[in-house]
Structure 1
Amino acid sequence: MSAPTTIVPGLFGADPLEYGQAVADVAAAGAELLHLDVMDGVFVPDISFGLKAVASIRKSFAGRLDAHLQVARPEVYVEGLAGAGVDLVTVHVEGTPHIGRVLRELERSGVAAGLALNPGTPLSAVEEVAHLVEQVVVMAVNPGTSDFLPYTVDKIRRLRTELDARGLDHIRIAADGGVTAERAAELRAAGADRLVVASALFRDPAGVAAALRSLATAAAGTR
């Protein structure tokens, strides 16, 4: 696997009273991609970033924005998120019976697409449409919880093998949930070349920039 490891800050892991500073910190640290968990209180219990918040973050962050839709009926969010300036929208296959339609709408809106899988959702759920996306996100926790599920490591490994066998080695695999420096190398070795890090990043007493460096070093196996 040739793609370098990208540590992706998950803004939802920051203190809500400090979101503005958190965005400034990851921007100053040179983060390439910022992960925004858009939650509707239905698909998961929490409610998070709405369109106004996303548009505001867009003004403060020059890198790419990935809106991770943890929502029911993701199709109703596509137009608004495109208008808010996101670069990538990741959609849970469990959130809609019409995943192909949502991916088509994203293509028409000029926004890159991703697919997300809950821990209990089989890889076959993305088989028919994986070639249409930039990334597949494998949830390593059940959405709305924080308990890391070790069996998802093998799921990542099997997904990488399947994508590579189909000539889809350009598709990035992101591990999301419970990602720490201690788990980074294992997830990378399994095939995850994007590691979404939330609490472990923003709660590190060393600060965001140092935490990003530490996570990247750990993922490379040189920690």
Structure 2
Amino acid sequence: MTGSTTDVSIVPGLFGADPLEYGRAVGDVSRTDADLLHLDVMDGVFVPDISFGLKAVKSVRKAFDRRLDVHLQVTRPESHIDGLAEAGVDLVSVHVESTPHIARLLRDLEKSGIAAGIALNPGTPLSSVEEIAHLVEQVVVMAVNPGTSDFLPYTVDKIRRLRADLDARGLGHIRIAADGGVTAERAAALRAAGADRLVVASALFQDPAGVESAFRSLGAIAAGA
């Protein structure tokens, strides 16, 4: 895993970088030991923002030689799977709110050779993943409402309850990713609650100390070092 500990990963979220500096930002991440780079694919419908399209994903794929983690925040996510598979994406997380056929979509990801994740908006109950959690590598718990930056403290307890449920069901190997508003001040609490992947965007790419230094610092803080 990444970061400065063996049990928590700092996952850079490229959307937090200056859009004029995306290429340099990917290079900065490559100089860390991050094993995942997180790309938010947004369509302006499911969430207000529009972000990386397939062409951008392919370009990042060429520039980054480790795993690409795509967070699909789109309507009709099934229409994106073939293109993402062709682009060489490694992990795709799909919102349970975005499709009535989440189990079928997870199966399609498996058939395409892509590891699957499921994502939950803050107001979506944990019960919505109960029947499908065993099919995925990770569950992404949004700590903000998508398209906003306001951290919602109650999501920390949501992560805690999810971790307890997964462990009780013998699914402790499934990763929990906290996404949205993750900062140095919140990292330790999120990890203590059971998140073992912390998706860090603005707090990483806008740190005056630079990406490499911020990455090391966040990993140490999350680990309680």
- Tell me which interval the TM-score lies in, with the shorter structure as reference length: over 0.9
* Cα displacement string for residues 116-165 of structure 1 (whole angstroms, at most 9, x for unaligned residues): 00000000000000000000000000000000000000000000000000
TM-superposed CA distance for 1:30, in Å, is: 2.1
Letter in 1 for 2:105: V
- Residue 175 of structure 2 is matched in structure 1 by 172
Say whether 1:212 aligns with 2:200: no
> What is the TM-score normalised by the length of structure 1?
0.98
2:39 to 36, 40, 52: 36
| Matches for 1:23-172 after TM superposition, within 5 Å | 23-172=26-175
Letter in 2 for 1:11: L
> What is the TM-score normalised by the length of structure 2?
0.97
**Are 1:3 and 1:193, in contact at CA under 8 Å, matched by a contact in 2?**
no
Letter in 1 for 2:193: A
Segments of 5+ residues of structure 1 without an aligned counterpart are: none
Distance in 2 (CA, whole Å) between partners of 1:206 and 1:55 is: 29
Displaced runs of 4 or more, over 2 A? none
* Cα displacement string for residues 156-203 of structure 1 (whole angstroms, at most 9, x for unaligned residues): 000000000000000000000000011110000000000000000000
TM-superposed CA distance for 1:3, in Å, is: 6.3
**Are 1:93 and 1:115, in contact at CA under 8 Å, matched by a contact in 2?**
yes
Distance in 2 (CA, whole Å) between partners of 1:87 and 1:66 is: 6
Distance in 1 (CA, whole Å) between partners of 2:223 and 2:110 is: 33
